[in-house]
Amino acid sequence: MRILLIHSSHFEYEVRDRAIEEAEPTSEKEGKDSIDEALVAFCSVESGDERDNDAVASNAAREISKVASTVKVKNIVVYPYAHLSSNLGSPSTAVPILRKLAELLVSEGYNVRRSPFGYYKSFKLECKGHPLSELSKTITAEKERRPAVLETRYAVLETDGRLIEPREYLQHPHPEFRFLVEKEALRRELPGGEPRYLEYCRKFGIEWEPYSDVGHMRYGPEGTLIFELITDYAWQKACELGLPLLQVRGTNMFDLSIPAVREHAALFGDRLYEVGVEEKQFVLRYAACHQQFSMVKDWTLSYRQLPFGTFELADSYRLEQSGELLLCFRVRKLHMPDLHIYCRDLEDAKKASMKVHEKIYSEIRKLGREYVSIYNTTRGFFEQNRDFFADLVKVEGKPVLLNFVPDGVFYWVLNVEYTIIDALDRPREIATFQIDIGNAERFGIAYIDHDGSRRFPPIIHTALIGTIERYLFSIFDCAAKAEDRGQKPSLPVWLSPIQARIVPVTMDQLRDANRIADELEKKDIRVDIDDREETVQKRVREAEISWIPYIIVLGQKEAGAGSFPVRVRARGTVETMTLDSLVAELREQTKDYPFTRSPFPRTLSTRPGYRKS
């Protein structure tokens, strides 16, 4: 907000014509006024002030009151004046702020007149002309008031229920959990370095987009296929929870002048992407909460329908610090397979949370990995629900790091961060779930209970496999760890863009190569043929560089036979297989995973932009 303060000996105005459709209703009596010995506050409400209407009004009242006290006046005029700024807020923002400003000044004992908003007016002003008679000020909303350092206390929760100090844990034999304790609880700097997985990303056309803001990714054809498969997998895993799930879809821009949106956005502080459009300020969503909650608040809900979930793959935006950006892990645009589960009460939420917890753990263990977890909670919730925490830890099979936070600061009572220790021995948060007890009331989401009462459901927030980007990070980090063990880095077969490649020794075998490719495609296997005029050795080497899981070398001898040599990347072997045995192995590797057909031309000679490395 911009304000111009004039200490006047006389001020008068008269409404002439409506300037905007949203002008305040005004009577003939309110359409003109005059006053002597007053401080006139010309006010322009700006775009962005809607982020915290009350703070802007309060700060403006404080500044105006200071000047009024200094020049010793008891009369104040609040006068809307659009000409102080070229970045005006919307009428729906301006009017509540100006009304609140007037109310605050009245509460401080001033005689306040407020000129109506949205009109052309004539006015006469006599300025006192002393050094303090003309002052201009810029008013902003103070940032959310939180403790400069949020006082939290860490403790290690052992599998037998004991709580021990983090420092006492450093001699424990579980090395990955020790890294988590050192980094999070003891704030020790861990070793860094250049992550090897970045070269893996380039292999599949996954990289930063140089024509955008920093932190935005792009995916080539191979990367896009991987992305779409992971997206399908996220939905598949959500459905396996055994709860009624409803997919929704919506926008990614939300109006900050809406109190629920503004209050929820304030929780994310300076990580918001904001967009100004036609004198309104919008926030780009940082998860699917806004869209799903905006829909569900309009639904008629009964206790008989709970629990149920809503799901959306939400393109989300977080203004992460540029120095902390990391491809596939910390990005400014991410894709959150966001699931919200609406529960009858806290006991219902705890039961649903156990299903979520077990599913999250089963997924990371499919990759041969373990999470080390941080449980953010209040001391009171922990003490009242020790049996629940014991059940959670039983699934983990190892200690967890508790972080006790103050009551009343967050909208959740439990926020679990599932973290892997990456190839550089650094903790990386992948999946999460929260038990939210605040947002249902904030957004007006209610259900009718068995006794006819209106109740607000606890809401579980979760991304079972993490964001699409972070799940991809986990996959590539598994490949990096495999390489550290002396194995060939690879993708899971279901995610491999091409699952089998046929390399004919000469073009005389091309017809047989296409016959085999036809049979593999009928069995939902992505296959291609390297028909380029290159040596067999070079074509096989490039298939290895491209991480092709199964490479069939087809010579004259093999073309007419029932079996052929297959290079199996996972085992580092060359094995003689029949077409049926190859199909059986590939089907076993991809069982229960989503499938999509190859979008690529079958033959490499006709494929544009073939990536060699």
Question: What share of the chain in percent tops pLDDT 70?
Answer: 96
CA 236, CA 593: separation in Å to the nearest integer?
9
Q: Are residues 511 and 461 in the same domain?
A: no
Run of H or E including 150: none
What is the per-residue pLDDT for 171? Answer: 66
In this prediction, residue 608 carries a pLDDT of 83
**Rounded CA separation 450/145 (Å):** 40
Instruction: Looking at the structure, tell me whether residues 198 and 54 fall in a common domain.
Output: no
Residue 558 forms part of a structural domain: yes
pLDDT tier at 145, thresholds 50, 70, 90: very low
Res. 439 pLDDT band, cuts 50 70 90: very high
Both tokens of 593, joined, read: 């995973």
Q: What is the mean pLDDT of residues 247-266?
A: 87
pLDDT, residue 296, reads 96
d(CA 205, CA 270): 31
Place of tokens 């915290």: 52
Cross-strand bridge partners of residue 3: 43, 137
Q: Is the pLDDT score of 268 beyond 80?
A: no
Together in a domain, 214 and 158? yes
Q: Is the pLDDT of residue 191 over 90?
A: no
DSSP code of residue 185: I
Tell whether 483 is covered by a domain: no
**For residue 528, how many other CB atoms are within 10 A of its CB?**
23
Residue pair 208/218 in contact (Cβ under 8 Å)? The answer is: yes
| 256 alpha carbon, distance to own chain's centre | 18
Residues 15-25, mean pLDDT to the nearest whole number = 89
Task: Give per-residue pLDDT as tens, 560-607.
Answer: 778 899 999 999 999 999 999 999 999 999 999 999 999 999 999 998
Place of tokens 């932190």: 215
Q: Is residue 506 part of a domain?
A: yes
CA-to-CA distance for 220 and 206, rounded, in angstroms?
6
**Is residue 236 assigned to a domain?**
yes
pLDDT of residue 172: 62
| Highest mean pLDDT: which range of 59-63, 176-180, 257-261, 466-470 | 466-470
Distance CA 351, CA 26 (A): 56
Report, as an integer, the average pLDDT of 264-270: 74
CATH number where 426 lies: 3.30.930.10
Supply the pLDDT for residue 147. Answer: 39
Looking up residue 62, the CATH number of its domain turns out to be: 3.50.80.10
The pLDDT tens digits of the residues spanning 312-352 come to 999 999 988 888 899 999 999 999 999 999 999 999 999 99
Percent share of the chain, pLDDT over 90:
71
Indicate whether 416 and 558 sit together in one domain. no
DSSP label at residue 488: P
Segment 509-536 shows an average pLDDT of 94
Q: What tokens appear for 191 in the block?
A: 């070793």
Per-residue pLDDT, 612: 43
User: Token digits for 215?
Assistant: 């932190």
**Among residues 610, 512, 522, 608, which one has the least CA distance to residue 552?**
512
Cβ contact 216:209 at 8 Å? yes
**Domain of residue 348, residue span:** 153-477
CA distance 428 to 374: 11
Residue 144 binned pLDDT confidence (cut-offs 50, 70, 90): very low
CA 368-371-377 angle, to 5 degrees, is 160
CA distance 442 to 258: 11
Best CA proximity match to 594, nearest among 180, 106, 238: 238
Q: Assess if residue 531 is contained within a domain.
A: yes
Predicted TM-score (pTM) of this structure? 0.78
Residue whose structure tokens are 């007016």: 121
DSSP annotation of 457 reads P
Q: Could you tell me if residue 371 is inside a domain?
A: yes
The pLDDT confidence band at residue 273, using thresholds 50, 70 and 90, is confident
Q: Say whether both 184 and 131 belong to one domain.
A: no
pLDDT at 173: 66
Give yes or no: residues 436 and 570 share one domain: no
Q: Is 365 helix (H, G, I), strand (E, B) or coil?
A: helix
Instruction: Choose one of 106, 138, 170: the last residue of a domain.
Output: 138
Report yes or no: 479 and 491 within 8 Å, Cβ to Cβ: yes
If pLDDT is split at 50, 70 and 90, which confidence band does 50 have?
confident
| Most distant pair of Cα atoms in the chain: their distance | 107
User: What's 502's domain CATH number?
Assistant: 3.40.50.800
For the stretch 83-95, pLDDT in tens is: 898 888 889 889 9
Distance CA 565, CA 553 (A): 6
* Bridge partners of residue 206, in order along the sequence: 219
Least confident of 138-147, 250-259, 374-383: 138-147
Residue 610 has pLDDT above 50, yes or no: no
Query: Is there a single domain that holds both residue 471 and residue 499?
Result: no
Whether residues 244 and 183 share a domain: the answer is: yes
Domain boundary among 138, 164, 188: 138
Say if residue 365 is in the same domain as residue 321.
yes
Last residue of a domain, one of 477, 512, 528: 477
Asked whether residue 509 is domain-assigned, the answer is yes
**Structure-block tokens of residue 330:** 């910390």
CA distances from 357 to 50, 242, 341, 345, 417 (A): 38, 14, 13, 18, 11
pLDDT higher for 357 or 562?
357
130, 204: one domain: no
> Token digits for 479?
């490949």
Is residue 148 one of the residues assigned to a domain?
no
What is the β-pairing status of strands 206-208 and 447-448?
unpaired
Please provide the average confidence, as pLDDT, over all residues in the chain.
91
Count of structural domains within the chain: 3
Are 131 and 163 in the same domain? no
pLDDT higher than threshold 60 for residue 123 = yes
Tens digits of per-residue pLDDT, 160-184? 999 999 888 776 667 888 888 888 8
Q: Are residues 199 and 326 in the same domain?
A: yes
CB 355 within 8 A of CB 241: yes
